[in-house]
Amino acid sequence: MGVDSPAEQAQILLRTRLCNPNFIYTIFSDSPDSNYSKLKYIMSSSVTEACNNSALLLGPRGCGKVAILEMVIKDLLQEYPDTICVIKLNGLLHSEDNCALKEIARQLCIENQLVFSKMASFDDNSQFVIAMLRECGLAHKTIIFVLDEFDLFTQGKQRLLYSLLDAMQSVTSQAVVVGVSCRLDADQLLEKRVRSRFSHRKLLFLPPSQEDLQKILQHALLLPTESSLPPQYVAAYNKKLLNTLSDDKFKDIIDSLCNFDATFNHLLRFLFASVSHMDTKSGILSLDNFKTSLSSIQRQPKLEALQDCTILELYILVCLRRLEGKEQETTNFNSVMKEYKDVHNSFQTSDYYARNVCLRAFEHLLQRQLISLVDNRGHSQSLEFRPVKLLISSHELHQGLKAYRSCPAILHKLLGLAV
Amino acid sequence: MGDEGNPQTTRRTTRASLSSTPNPKSSKGKLKSCNLLPLTIHDLAYGDESISFNDLISSLPGRRAQIIELLHLLGPLDSPMFPVFVYGGASTGKTSSILQTFKYLKRPFVYCSCITCYNPRILFESVLNQLLLHRRNESNRYSSTKRCERPSDFVNLLQEALHNVVDSLKGNVEKSSSKKSVGRASGKMVYLVFDNLELAREWDKSSNILPFLFKLYDILKMPEVGLIFLSNASPDTYYSDTGYVEPVPVYFPDYTEDELRQILMKNQKNPKLYSSFLEVVLRPFCRVTRQVDELLTAFSSLYQIYCEPLDDLGIVPNEDMKRKLFSHLQPHIGPSLNETFKVESRLSSEASANTNKCKGIAKKVGVSESSNEIDFHMSACAKYLLICAFLASRNPATLDASMFDSTGGSNNKKRKRSSEKSKEKKEIAEQELLLKGPGTFPLERLLAIFQCIVSVSECLPDEEAQGDGGLEGESWTNGLLSDVLLELSSLCNANFISKGGSCPLEGANRYRSMVSEAMALKVAKSLKFPLAKYLYRGG
């Protein structure tokens, strides 16, 4: 297996880089006013000055909040070995108080080589955690609590947050609570008693700027000169890549990507798809790779679903749209069938099928999620009577019909009449 | 090769059935031996036989572009990957493509379908069982290795299991680097495949199972793990409260007409004959449905009809023959287009031969019997109940008294005339009926109507003998009433009548008739009951 072509090796290297957030975000560790530096300052001061601290990292999904935090923690662990203990919780997993406390106790036990009891009650665990906080405080050991998906911890009675933040009010403990959330109003979700114990440090994470974007592109995609890869190949690859990156067409691609979603994560997925499509024969990342990956990343699922529809399903959609155009309050399968019949009677279409066949087509449309049931109540009603609504606009339907390969002209006409 | 059938079975059997398609006999033996031997790390990948790239492409017609894209995203050996989200309509070969691709790549993977793993606990335990190479059998009383209900426990156990698997895979790579062995799992990546993810959306509204699965990659922080999600719903239908980390999408479009032809032509005994058959039927059917499973059921019976005039099924048809066969088939295409499902069994074909005879007699009477027959057996009591329920759902409760007075609904001639006066009013009422559907009614009303109808229908055939027939009829109705509730519950179970939620004021359960008017009329006809007379037509 060691005889992979250099192109394949390069591909593996690039993919490993893109999937490793620690690598991608290292470029932000130098600048002094970056979130990395600020966060590091907050956390290291709490380690060196033996004080309690809390902070919230806010920003849209995929802007590297957790990655930066991990980098800071990694650095701190190197700088101050044996004085830091990290407890990681995730709102998706531990939003329930009981479960969260158990997990804290478990991680504390692992960190301190203690035996964890699965049978311990909420009370036992909570006493254990408070005792551990005191012990660690006395030993000048900082406990860092990382609460990912912080907003989910605020559901319910917030007992966990309260007991954590309350324990930090005492002078003996030495802990940092870092909440990470994609909800910018996460601190408003806190109860009064919790909010008053929370230090309102908030760090905002934003999508990358133009310069950052360029930096990341080069940082992620350029191959290293000192590696096992043959130097000629690396030189050729890098030269071609820099050419591509400065190309105007490439800039257009990046612009359209960022218009859609400008977060780091989206960019990384785009780069991942581009690298995946790299031609392993030439081993060069070309503009075409970026183009194909852009079209495969930016999908329009509703239009695709329209292209997948059969003629009969299109008829049903158009009939439903016509009914909505008539401003009827509710529509269901029966009223669609009535419209379908009327259309057939007045235009003598060739596609007139039996009711049960239409019902099956109707079910296909429900499955494709082009239409949906208005409410999920009334399960006792059979499908024909349950009200439905279109999930696409008439504009989308129009566009879809235009793009359809062999769309009957009558459908355009029917839709045109409706609009 | 649609994805139908595959998701329902567990992974092991899926693989067995997949590998058995070329030669079922040999794989049977393998299956047996596989049950005896303890599982090894290599059982996480298809080990038995290798397929080439050409086999892979040719086994899945029309999916070339998608398979190549998948291969690109999976990447070369041992390369990490972002989570991938494969989506496309039903019956577009998503599952088959993924499984065949892994067969080709021979990489270890874990397959779980949300159909068989129908709640989070079963899903979690299924993943862990496979990773821990645990087989549920009699000796362990079909239990899972680990009991795991919460996502938090699952993550801890999964991390542990994955580390073990990855470690042993690494050990393998080092061992096998000296001598190359066949049938081994290659690489040190493990892939988790979650099929039918769209079902997980309805598991539990409050739970975070979907955001959790989408974030699993970030939570695990293991580059050796690849996640693949399969779904027949597009990614935009998964949006939840605070969103999720979007995976890389791969789209499987529905098959085009040409691709369908290629798929249907696979494994045909007489390709020439079948292709001439497809030329005739495929185009009209594609206007209705393009799903392979539905087309296959429709075509299987049509093809039999197509071949009827032929003595030798191995014949290569010429133009003349084709024309003849076409004219033979043509009258059948239209009706079968308007049928949804018709699975031809031996029994029913015999029965249809019998009904053909009956039809001849019936036509003399002047009624087209075929449409008036109910094709299942039902007791008379159940039939009456069905009609009563239909009436109770259709008629307003306030009119019951006038409908079922002692004269047995004979006075509704007057009302009928008056309803004809206002046509548009009637239309509006009809429209409303279309939208609202059948109404609900309490049990008492159903029983009251039942009592009336049964007594009326007793008297109806010979109205002159009303006087002396009364007593006899009474005893008969008593006999009927004795198991009315039993019949009602079986009708509910068969979904002819649905049992709705209880009314907040009365507290009793309310029922609703689920049968169509045509069906109710059929049933009434079989009892010779004048249903139309009792139907309130608005106005």
Taking residues A352-359, what's their average pLDDT?
Answer: 89
A189 in contact with B at a CB cutoff of 8 Å? no
State the pLDDT at residue B1.
40
User: Is B500 found in the same domain as B391?
Assistant: yes
User: Is B92 found in the same domain as B222?
Assistant: yes
Strand (E) or helix (H) holding A61: none
- Select the residue of A90, A151, A384 nearest B242 (Cβ to Cβ): A151
Tell me the pLDDT band of A409, cut-offs 50, 70 and 90. confident
Task: Give ∠ CA A270-A276-A281 in degrees, rounded to 5.
Answer: 140
Neighbours of B188 (CB within 10 A): 20
Indicate whether A385 pLDDT > 80: yes
Residue A43, sorted as left (phi over 0), alpha (psi -120 to 50) or beta, turns out to be alpha
Q: Is residue A203 within 8 Å of residue A56, measured between CB atoms?
A: yes
Within a 13 Å sphere around the CA of B159, how many CA atoms are in the beta-carbon half?
12
User: Is B156 found in the same domain as B239?
Assistant: yes
User: Is B208 found in the same domain as B81?
Assistant: yes
- Select the residue of A12, A357, A369 nearest B340 (Cβ to Cβ): A357
Residue B1 lies in a domain: no
State the pLDDT at residue B422.
67
CA quadruple A289, A290, A293, A294: dihedral positive or negative? negative
Per DSSP, the three-state class of A250 is helix
User: Is B264 found in the same domain as B226?
Assistant: no
pTM of the predicted structure, to 2 decimals: 0.84
**How far does A249 lie from chain B, in Å, by closest CA?**
23
B478-517 residues touching A, CB cutoff 8 A = 498-501, 512, 514
A312 in contact with B at a CB cutoff of 8 Å? yes
Tell me the pLDDT band of A273, cut-offs 50, 70 and 90. very high
Residue B6 lies in a domain: no
Alpha carbon A222 to its chain centroid, in Å, reads: 26
Edge-to-edge order in the sheet of strand B440-442? B440-442, B509-513, B497-502
Q: Is residue A415 within 8 Å of residue A398, measured between CB atoms?
A: yes
Residue B395 lies in a domain: yes
Q: In chain B, whose CA is at the least distance from the CA of A337?
A: B434
B336 in contact with A at a CB cutoff of 8 Å? no
Structure tokens at A281: 């024969």
Boundary residue ending a domain (B252, B280, B312): B252
Residue B15 is part of a domain; what is its CATH number? 3.40.50.300
Q: In chain A, whose CA is at the least distance from the CA of B208?
A: A92
Going by the DSSP 8-state scheme, the letter that residue A331 receives in this structure is B
Residue B15 lies in a domain: yes
Per DSSP, the three-state class of B85 is strand
Boundary residue ending a domain (B206, B230, B252): B252
Q: Which amino acid makes up residue B430?
A: E
Residue B5 lies in a domain: no
Task: Give ∠ CA B143-B144-B145 in degrees, rounded to 5.
Answer: 120
Would the CB atoms of B219 and A92 count as touching at under 8 Å? Answer: yes
Q: Is residue A205 within 8 Å of residue A81, measured between CB atoms?
A: no
Domain extent, residue B240, equals: 11-252
Q: Domains along chain A?
A: 6-15+209-297 (no CATH), 31-204 (3.40.50.300), 303-418 (1.10.10.10)
Residue B539 lies in a domain: no
State the pLDDT at residue B300.
87
B124, B209, B340: which to substitute to probe chain A, counting the most A Cβ within 10 Å?
Answer: B340
A305 CB neighbours in chain B (<8 A) are: 89, 234
User: Is B165 found in the same domain as B19?
Assistant: yes
B2-61 residues touching A, CB cutoff 8 A = none
B287 CB neighbours in chain A (<8 A) are: 310-312, 351
A277 in contact with B at a CB cutoff of 8 Å? yes
B431 CB neighbours in chain A (<8 A) are: 335, 338
Distance between CA atoms of residues B91 and B2, nearest Å = 5
Would the CB atoms of B244 and A61 count as touching at under 8 Å? Answer: yes
- Select the residue of A92, A103, A312 nearest B288 (Cβ to Cβ): A312
Indicate whether A69 pLDDT > 90: yes
User: Is B138 found in the same domain as B27?
Assistant: yes
**How far does A83 lie from chain B, in Å, by closest CA?**
24
B173 CB neighbours in chain A (<8 A) are: 1
Would the CB atoms of A95 and B208 count as touching at under 8 Å? Answer: yes
B250 CB neighbours in chain A (<8 A) are: 296
Between A174 and A57, residue with greater pLDDT: A57
Could you give the number of structural domains in chain B? 4
Would the CB atoms of B338 and A357 count as touching at under 8 Å? Answer: yes
> Which of B209, B232, B183, B196 shows the shortest CA–CA distance to B9?
B196
Q: What is the mean pLDDT of chain A?
A: 88
User: Is B188 found in the same domain as B103?
Assistant: yes
User: Is B284 found in the same domain as B190?
Assistant: no
pLDDT, tens only, A278-327: 888 888 888 999 999 999 888 888 999 999 999 999 999 999 999 888 87
State the pLDDT at residue B86.
95
User: Is B371 found in the same domain as B223?
Assistant: no
- Select the residue of B152, B235, B246 nearest A93 (Cβ to Cβ): B152
Per DSSP, the three-state class of B485 is helix
- Select the residue of A182, A280, A296 nearest B243 (Cβ to Cβ): A182
**Could you say which residues of chain B have pLDDT below 70?**
1-37, 47-48, 176-185, 205-207, 241-242, 341-374, 405-422, 457-482, 501-507, 538-539
Q: In chain A, whose CA is at the least distance from the CA of B221?
A: A20
- Select the residue of B80, B337, B436 nearest A15 (Cβ to Cβ): B80
State the pLDDT at residue B367.
33
**How far does B26 lie from chain A, in Å, by closest CA?**
31
Report the complex ipTM.
Answer: 0.92
User: Is B513 found in the same domain as B398?
Assistant: yes
Distance between CA atoms of residues A269 and A283, nearest Å = 20
Q: Is residue A97 within 8 Å of residue A159, measured between CB atoms?
A: yes
Indicate whether A77 pLDDT > 90: yes
User: Is B366 found in the same domain as B273?
Assistant: no
- Select the residue of A12, A272, A353 nearest B248 (Cβ to Cβ): A272
A20 CB neighbours in chain B (<8 A) are: 80, 223
Q: Is residue B213 within 8 Å of residue B192, measured between CB atoms?
A: no
Residue B2 lies in a domain: no
Residue B153 lies in a domain: yes
A374-393 residues touching B, CB cutoff 8 A = 380-382, 384-387
Would the CB atoms of B339 and A354 count as touching at under 8 Å? Answer: yes
Distance between CA atoms of residues B447 and B11, nearest Å = 51
Number of H helices, E strands in chain A: 21, 7
Indicate whether A192 pLDDT > 80: yes
Q: Is residue B100 within 8 Å of residue B56, measured between CB atoms?
A: yes
